[in-house]
């Protein structure tokens, strides 16, 4: 591994880039949601409040950290960085400039599935470690919700892989050049993926594990200061990660028309393609989550098991037959 690769992983287009993208995403989320609800949204920090998520993050890190008396201190204090690591590692498999990701292997998607599961596992561990009543109820809901959305999410991720005949994300992106986007090949899979990612992200209508009017902040209730800052940042990062995954798997990610022969310019154009697609997916998720009310856990499980799982199985069957 040479120095350039380290810079790529840590700075651009790796971790730092995605963290800043996560901040921008959070700002966009707050701003668009506010406008749809007739409000202004953040307006003070930076131009039009764009630095508000950054300010929130640094403010949280400087606050007093309160550790509950009966909590599992080791997991409670050291868990958040691991929780953060899950989507952070996931992002390096996604091509951002050029058609190849920083790290690419033939088994990318398997690792992505592990990352998604690990993220939920860490959330569960953090909730249990904090030993609150709200957290305990929330973890019950989280695990049940994960059990219901994992199968549709997995099948929805697998369908573009089958269509491309490749398990590597870079491979899937390359298979979608010339506007051969998989959203046209596996439209049901795309819809199922978006709905399942709402559940993974704990956004309405599936914000059941952190339903604030029922169980306060759910498994995050006992967190404060630095751990909370990490947890919040991880939520935004997962947001970007899943949008980027959807953009790469279904909308062609960085793939698009080649405009110049100059490598560095063309890389910039690839980055622009990628960002446009990611933000498009992001806006779709913002709109869906703003327009819906929270369902109950049994209703969510019902929806995933009786509607989305058969749909994603059907999609997989169709895509296998088509190949």
Are residues 290 and 37 in contact, defined by beta-carbon separation less than 8 angstroms? yes
Taking CB under 8 A as the rule, does residue 204 contact another protein? yes
Supply the minimum distance, in Å, between the C-beta of residue 289 and another protein: 9
Compute the C-alpha angle 84/86/92, nearest 5°. 110
Shortest Å distance, C-beta 293 to another protein: 4
Is 68 among the residues that bind another protein (CB under 8 A)? Answer: no
How many whole angstroms separate alpha carbon 109 and alpha carbon 107?
Answer: 6
Of residues 213 and 261, the one with the C-beta less far from another protein: 213
Question: What is the dihedral sign for C-alpha 154, 160, 165, 171?
Answer: negative
The answer to whether the beta carbons of residues 315 and 157 sit under 8 Å apart is no
Q: What is the nearest approach in angstroms of another protein to the Cβ of residue 208?
A: 7
Least distance CB 110 / another protein (angstroms) = 30
Mask for 110-149, x = binds another protein (CB under 8 A): -----------------------x---x--xx--------
Among 98, 191, 294, 314, the residue binding another protein under the rule CB under 8 A is 294
By beta-carbon proximity to another protein, the closer residue of 89 and 297 is: 297
- Residue 37 is a binding residue for another protein (CB under 8 A): yes
Among 303, 315, 316, 319, binds another protein (CB under 8 A): 303
CB of 156 to another protein, least distance (A): 17
Q: Which two three-digit tokens encode residue 124?
A: 């569960």
Instruction: Decide: is 199 part of the binding site for another protein (CB under 8 A).
Output: no
- Please identify, using beta-carbon distances, which residue of 8 and 222 lies nearer to another protein: 222
Contact with another protein (CB under 8 A): which of 12, 20, 34, 75?
34
Whose Cβ is closer to another protein: residue 284's or residue 322's? 284
> At which residue do the structure tokens 């869906």 appear?
288
Binding residues (CB under 8 A) for another protein: these are: 32-40, 43, 133, 137, 140-141, 204-205, 207-208, 211-216, 287-288, 290-300, 302-303, 306-307
């Amino acid at each position: 591994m040479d120095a350039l690769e380290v810079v790529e992983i840590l700075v651009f287009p790796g971790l730092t880039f995605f963290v800043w993208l996560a901040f921008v995403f959070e700002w966009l989320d707050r701003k668009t949601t506010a406008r749809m609800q007739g409000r202004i949204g953040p307006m003070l920090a930076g131009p039009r409040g764009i630095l508000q998520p950054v300010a929130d993050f640094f403010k949280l890190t400087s606050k007093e950290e309160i550790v509950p008396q009966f909590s599992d201190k080791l997991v409670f204090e050291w868990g958040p960085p691991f929780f953060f690591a899950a989507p952070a590692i996931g992002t390096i498999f996604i091509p951002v400039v050029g058609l190849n990701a920083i790290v690419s292997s033939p088994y990318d998607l398997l690792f992505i599935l592990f990352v998604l599961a690990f993220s939920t596992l860490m959330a569960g561990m953090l909730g249990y470690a904090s030993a609150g009543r709200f957290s305990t109820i929330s973890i019950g809901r989280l695990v049940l919700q994960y059990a219901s959305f994992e199968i549709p999410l997995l099948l929805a991720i697998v369908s573009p892989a089958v269509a491309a005949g490749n398990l590597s994300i870079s491979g899937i992106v390359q298979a979608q050049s010339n506007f051969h986007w998989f959203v046209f090949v596996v439209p049901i899979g795309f819809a199922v993926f978006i709905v399942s990612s709402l559940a993974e992200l704990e956004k309405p209508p599936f914000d059941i594990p952190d339903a604030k009017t029922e169980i306060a902040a759910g498994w995050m209730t006992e967190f404060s200061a630095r751990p909370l800052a990490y947890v919040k940042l991880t939520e935004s990062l997962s947001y970007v990660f899943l949008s980027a995954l959807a953009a790469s798997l279904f909308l062609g990610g960085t793939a698009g028309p080649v405009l110049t022969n100059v490598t560095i310019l063309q890389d910039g154009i690839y980055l622009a393609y990628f960002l446009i697609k990611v933000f498009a997916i992001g806006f779709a998720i913002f709109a869906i989550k703003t327009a819906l009310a929270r369902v109950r856990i049994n209703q969510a499980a019902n929806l995933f098991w009786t509607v989305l799982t058969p749909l994603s199985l059907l999609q997989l069957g169709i895509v296998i037959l088509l190949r």
